[in-house]
Amino acid sequence: MADGTLQVRVVSPQKIVFEGDAAALVAPAWDGMVGILPGHAPFLTLVGVGELSIELPGGGSRSFQVAGGILKVLTNRVTVLTEYAGTEPPAEIPAEAIVHPEDVVASATDASS
Amino acid sequence: MAGAREVRRRIKSVENNRQITRTMELVATSKLKRATDRVRAARPYADALDEIVRSLYSPWLAERFPLLRQPTETRRAAVLLLTANRGLAGAFNANLIRETRHQLDDLREKGIATELHIAGKKGIQFFRFRGEPMETARTDIKDAPTVTDAESLVAPLAARFEAGILDAVFLVSSEFRSAMSTPPRVKELLPIRPGAASASADAFILSPPGGFILGRLLPLYLRNAVYTALVENAAAEQGARRTAMKNATDNAGEMLEYLTRTYNRARQAQITQEIAEIVGGAAGLE
C-alpha cells in the first residue's frame, strides 16, 4: 500500500480543478496543514484557507489556493471539495472557511452532555 | 395577377420568419453546449458532497441541527419555482407553472399554508396575472447561474425553516435528462432526508468531530442542491428552446414548399391563360 499512488480530485462547485495521480499532498485543514501520503487512514476534515500542493508521481508539483470545504481520504482516493480554488488567494475569504476552535469545543461539549 | 402577388408576399414573410427561428435555434444550440458543460461540471461536487453528508448523517444528530429538523406536522410550506426569464421555449415554462399549481393545490387541500417564491420572469408574470401573492419574485438570475445566486435564494428559506416558521420547502425545476427530455420535477429541499450511507463515518478519522463537520456541510449541501437545479434548469431551457425553434424552422420550410408550389401554379395558370388569349385572338382574325 505504502508504495502506491494517491488518486486526487480537487473539485469546486463549478468544475474539477485537478484530477490525477499524486505521490503526496499537503493541504490546509481548518486547524493547520495536513500531509497525506499513500496508505493514509480514512480521514475527513474541514478545509481552511491556504495553499494546497500536490506532488506528482514523476516529480514536479501543482499547487492551488483554496478556501473552505472538506477533504476526504478513503483507500488512497483523496477528494477535496472546496469553495474556492485558483492560482491567486481569494479576494474575500468565504465564511465557510473560518472555523473558530471555541465553536468546535462548544459543539463537542454539547454532544457529550 | 393579384393571386400570385399575394402568394409572393406570404413567401417573403415566411422566409423572414424562418430566418429568425433558425438564428434562434443556432443561438440556443451554442448556449445549450455551454449550459450542459456547466451541468456536467457541477455533478462531481454534488455527488461527492452528497456522499459525505450521507455518511455523516445519523438520526440522533438531527436533534442538534435546526436544519435537520423533521417536523411531525407540516403547517406552512414554501414552494420555490425556477422558470426562464424568456419565452419561446415551447412548453418549458408552461410545464413548470403547471407543476407548481398542482403542488400548491395539493398542499392547500391538506390544509397547509403555502407561500410562493419565484425566480424567473415567466413564472412571475403568470402568477401575478392570477393574483397569487409572491414572497420572492426575482428576475436577476442569468443564463450562467452562480453559487451566489443559489445562496441568496435558499438562505432566507433555510433561516425561516430553522426558526420553525416553515415546515417544508419544495423546489420546482426542470430535470435535465437530455436536450430533448426536460420534464418538470418537484424536489423536497427541506427537511433534509439523507439517504442510506454507503460508508459509515465511524470508519473515518474525523477532525473536527463529525457533528461539527455536518453542521458546516448542511448549508453547503442545501445551497448546492439549489445551484444544481439552477444550472440544470438553464440547460433545460436552452434545450427546450432549441427544439421549439427547430420545429418552427421545419414548419416554415414545409410551408414555403407549399406556398412556392401554389405560386408556381398561379404563375403557370397566368401564362396558359395569356397564350390561350393570344391563340383565341389570332383565331378570331382568321
At residue B50, the pLDDT reads 87
Q: Is B65 on the interface with A (CB under 8 A)?
A: no
For range B173-180, the mean pLDDT: 88
Among B46, B62, B47, B48, CA closest to B214: B62
Least CB–CB distance from B147: residue in A11, A13, A81:
A13
CA distances in angstroms from B58 to B19, B68, B213, listed in the order given: 58, 10, 13
Q: Is the pLDDT of residue B82 over 90?
A: yes
The distance of A24 to chain B (nearest Cα, Å) reads 19
Going by the DSSP 8-state scheme, the letter that residue A52 receives in this structure is E
Q: Is the pLDDT of residue B266 over 60?
A: yes
If residue A74 lies in a helix (H) or strand (E), which one and from where to where? Answer: strand A61-74
Q: Return the percent helix, strand and coil in chain A, to nearest 5.
A: 15, 55, 35
Contact (CB, 8 A) for A23 and A5:
yes
The distance of B52 to chain A (nearest Cα, Å) reads 8
d(Cα B98, Cα B23) in Å, to the nearest integer?
29
Among B92, B51, B285, B221, CA closest to A13: B221
pLDDT-based confidence at residue A113 (cuts at 50, 70, 90): very low
B30 contact partners, CB below 8 Å, separation of at least 6: none
CA distances in angstroms from B234 to B83, B86, B90, B118, B146, listed in the order given: 9, 11, 14, 15, 11
What is chain A's mean pLDDT, rounded? 83
d(Cα B144, Cα B245) in Å, to the nearest integer?
21
Nearest CA in chain A to B49: A81
Q: Is the pLDDT of residue A106 over 90?
A: no
8 Å CB contact of B45 and A13: yes
At residue B16, the pLDDT reads 95
Map out the domains of chain A with their CATH numbers: 6-112 (2.60.15.10)
d(Cα B158, Cα B132) in Å, to the nearest integer?
23
At residue B164, the pLDDT reads 86
A81 dihedral zone (left: phi>0; alpha: psi -120 to 50; beta):
beta
d(Cα A7, Cα A1) in Å, to the nearest integer?
13
Percent pLDDT > 90 in chain B is 51
At residue B199, the pLDDT reads 60
Q: Is the pLDDT of residue A88 over 80?
A: no
pLDDT-based confidence at residue A8 (cuts at 50, 70, 90): very high
At residue A16, the pLDDT reads 86
For range B128-143, the mean pLDDT: 89
Q: Is the pLDDT of residue B204 over 90?
A: no
pLDDT-based confidence at residue A103 (cuts at 50, 70, 90): confident
Strands (E), A14-56: 16-22, 24-29, 32-36, 43-46, 49-55
Percent pLDDT > 90 in chain A is 27
Map out the domains of chain B with their CATH numbers: 2-19+245-285 (1.10.287.80), 25-242 (3.40.1380.10)
Which residues make beta-bridge pairs with B81?
Answer: B118, B172
pLDDT-based confidence at residue B126 (cuts at 50, 70, 90): very high
pTM listed for this prediction: 0.85
8 Å CB contact of B49 and A44: no
